[in-house]
Chain A
């Protein structure tokens, strides 16, 4: 079981209190009717599917109820950091140190 730090509660808690919510920083086009089919397809379906540090959304559903973002290594399952929704992407070089 993963232990996840909720940035809103400032507590590190078992994964069972949380729900995964897909890749983070995927912004819905402000005017969907203005984008091409290819751009809409990219928004709906195309994800990075990265091997390594992945920017993803979580929700503390059995707790404060808030969505937040995390960087999790998809190989080791280790959480590098969590941060509030709406905050910019953290710098990976800083997060990963020598592993970057």
Chain B
């Protein structure tokens, strides 16, 4: 409750500063519109913005889902199969040297102007943080737990995957969570960059066009919607992760 109040105060404060800057500097409204103008544009153009926002939201969520699933599968495979680890790890790390955004035009070429190329872009930038964080979590297990499990095995050893399911996966959940949080924060960037490079819909497309036609207030309104969507998604994911890893001690102090 107090935190909500604090957030509200920060938001109001920033808006006030913004409005003051506009008043004092007297910049023309097509360079920097004040918050009131942006709010007006948001209300007036809401029917224009909403469908674009829906498309961008779809791209972000789909990208996040696919990227997380792919990253999760990769991390688990890396843990389970040592040869895969030796062959895939260098490739994964080398792939991070590529500026992913430079691939955006290629993605448009391959997947077209529609949803697919943006989802692919989001997946590309999400994949690595999820895989790396999750893999690390799966690997850094207290060796004492593994020793304990080994002694607990029956005469024929443990069933396949039982250490993975009972110990490694739950122990790696917090690490997976931090990867997923990073992914959630960067997924909207992927989608919007994809839209900038080539699209016929989405908030990125809308902003580009509003900018070209000097509709700066519309651009800010679209930006605002994007920010609210990104924050909302993050809050949702964060809340979900806290629920699953509620045994983590630092939760109490956060």
A and B: partners? Answer: no
* Chain A residues proximal to chain B, CB less than 8 Å: none
